[in-house]
Amino acid sequence: MSHRVFRIPVASVYPHYVTKVEKKGRTTDELHEVIEWLTGFDEKALEKHLKDETTFADFFAAAHLNPNAELITGSVCGVKDLDKLVDELAKGRPMEKILRS
């Protein structure tokens, strides 16, 4: 995971995720649901990673990826793409489709 995106703290991108989904009428709770579905991190764990300025590399290394994450067509350097899920949420895709259920 040497790509520069993995050296970026999740906390520096997270506010952009919030802005993106809220601008399109979705909620932070829905964003957290998507993040938890992908990574296994509940809101408390996510808050800790944000507070600790965890890099994307460490964030995904600690994650327990959902078995259905393989159904996500996008990835960055071999890691299933959280950005793709956030885009789907912002575009109004139904949660059951985003969560590949």
pLDDT tier at 76, thresholds 50, 70, 90: low
Pick the CATH number of 4-92 from 1.10.8.290, 3.30.470.10, 3.40.50.300, 1.10.1200.10: 1.10.8.290
pLDDT at 55 over 70: yes
How many Å apart are CA 21 and CA 88, to the nearest integer?
A: 9
The pLDDT, as a whole number, for residue 75 is 66
Q: Are 81 and 72 in contact (CB under 8 A)?
A: yes
How many Å apart are CA 8 and CA 22, to the nearest integer?
A: 23
Q: Are 76 and 12 in contact (CB under 8 A)?
A: no
Residue 63, Ramachandran bin (φ over 0: left; ψ between -120 and 50: alpha; else beta): beta
